[in-house]
Every structure is written in C-alpha cells, then in structure tokens.
Amino acid sequence: MLPSPTMLNIVKSCCRNGQYALVPKSWYYNSKLLQKCSMSSSACITVSPPACQLDDPVNITISGLKKHKIYTLHTSLTDQKGVPFTSVAHYRSDEHGIIDLDKTPSRGGHFASLYPMGPFISMVQQGPSGQHARIHLTDMYSPLNYQLEVYPDAVGYQLMQKGKSLGLKPICSTQHTRRLMGKGCTSIPVRHGRIRGTLHLPPGESEIWSL
C-alpha cells in the first residue's frame, strides 16, 4: 500500500526506465530529476455536468490512465476577492485505467475515503492560511470557475504550490462552472426597519423563495 504523503514527504516524480518513481524531498532541487517522462495524450478528465448549480452533485471521471497507478487530482479556484483556494487528493486507477470518484476512494491529501464531492468541499486557502478561511462570495450572479488538473504519482500540497517553477505539468485538465443563482432568477433588496436582506425569486409563478 502506498504510504501517506506525510510519511513519504515526497511528491515529485522522475524518470526511471520509462516509469514514474517517487523520490525523497531533498531530491527536488536536483534539476536532473525534474525531467518529465513522455506521457500518453489519451488521458482525459471529465466533469458531468460541466456546469451546474453550486449545490448540485457532479461526477468526476479520469480515463486513459495506466492501470493500478497513483495519480493526483488538483482542484483550484480563485474567489471573488481574488484569493486562491486549492484541494489535493490521491487516487489509484483501476484495472481499466479509470478513476471514477463515485467509486474510487481518495488515498490521501486534503481528504480520504470515498467522497465524490471532496475536491470542492475540502478546498483550503493556498499559501498562508488563517486570513481567508472561507471562499468569499459577494456577487450572486458571478459563477465559480474551478480548474481540475491530473498529475502522475502522489503530488503533495506543498509541492503543488511550487509546481510550475519545478516543471510539473498535468497530464490532463478541465474546467467546471458552479453557479450561485439559477437561470432567470431575480434579486430584490429588502430594507424595512432594521431588516436587511435580499429576496431571491425563481422565474415564473412559484411559492418558493430564498431570503
């Protein structure tokens, strides 16, 4: 079984006989070990549906992988204040070279076990934490645009922040949009006495509302 990223303290891959191999953290800064093996261009990640409401579940599937290998899914987002958030999870592909988050549990990262929506729910502020503990939302009409990238082997959170400078490149990537407001919804500011709020109304005749 693959040790946890904390135990390994490694996440960079190097070329060894045409295969990816995990190496100690102290090796990261040896430029020779930053060379990349040629990867198959058939790897593909899909999010279904590609766009949806913020509270809708989605299916994330990664295909075209080498079978029974560890891969890292990196999910990133910049909120409406310009603060970057990120999530990292490690998965093992099945005998068909597929990772289906509805069926495949995470083996480590920001969350573990079977958690299909984990990449979105487990996001933390990238860089020094504490100042922005939550994703900042002010404009209900602006969607959240997520970037999902797949890397070979177990790439940890700390290394992912330095990925570009170290030459890390994803084998596949995609974007996913999550909307805060449904199509056709309207917002009416509410100001009465000491009450302050916004009434969000769906299109058409309906008794359903949200304050």
> Rounded to a whole number, what is the largest CA-CA distance in the chain?
73
Instruction: Answer yes or no: do 173 and 198 share one domain.
Output: no
Sequence-distant (≥ 6) Cβ neighbours of residue 6 within 8 angstroms = 108
Element at 5 (helix H, strand E): helix 5-8
Instruction: Dihedral sign for Cα 34, 39, 41, 43, please.
Output: negative
Please answer whether residues 6 and 24 qualify as being in contact, where contact means their C-beta atoms are separated by less than 8 angstroms: no
Asked if residue 135 belongs to a domain, the reply is yes
Instruction: Answer yes or no: do 93 and 52 share one domain.
Output: yes
Instruction: Answer yes or no: do 200 and 139 share one domain.
Output: no
Instruction: Answer yes or no: do 99 and 147 share one domain.
Output: yes
Instruction: Answer yes or no: do 103 and 189 share one domain.
Output: no
Q: What pLDDT tens digit does each residue of the chain (211 aa) get?
A: 334 433 333 333 333 333 333 434 333 332 232 233 334 458 999 999 999 999 999 999 999 999 999 999 999 999 988 899 999 999 999 999 999 999 999 999 999 999 999 999 999 988 766 566 788 888 888 899 999 999 999 988 878 777 767 788 999 999 999 998 888 888 888 998 998 888 888 777 766 655 5
Instruction: Answer yes or no: do 203 and 121 share one domain.
Output: no
Work out how many domains the chain is built from and give that number: 2
Instruction: Answer yes or no: do 95 and 82 share one domain.
Output: yes
Asked if residue 75 belongs to a domain, the reply is yes
DSSP letters for 97-166: S-EETTTPPB-EES--BS-TTHHHHT-EESSS-SS--S-----TTSPEEEEEEEEES---HHHHTTTTTT
Provide the domain limits for residue 197. 182-211
Cα dihedral 86→90→94→96 (10° resolution): 50
Asked if residue 33 belongs to a domain, the reply is no
Asked if residue 146 belongs to a domain, the reply is yes
Whichever domain contains 129, its CATH number is 2.60.40.2240
Phi/psi at 6 (nearest 5 deg)?
Answer: -65, -40
3-state secondary structure of 173: strand
Asked if residue 1 belongs to a domain, the reply is no
Instruction: Answer yes or no: do 68 and 129 share one domain.
Output: yes
Asked if residue 22 belongs to a domain, the reply is no
Tell me the pairing of strands 195-201 and 186-192. antiparallel
Asked if residue 10 belongs to a domain, the reply is no
Q: What is the Cα Rg of the chain in Å?
A: 20
Instruction: Answer yes or no: do 173 and 200 share one domain.
Output: no
Question: What pLDDT, in 10s, does the model give residues 68-104?
Answer: 999 999 999 999 888 999 999 999 999 999 999 999 9
Asked if residue 55 belongs to a domain, the reply is yes
What is the DSSP code (8-state) at residue 65?
Answer: P
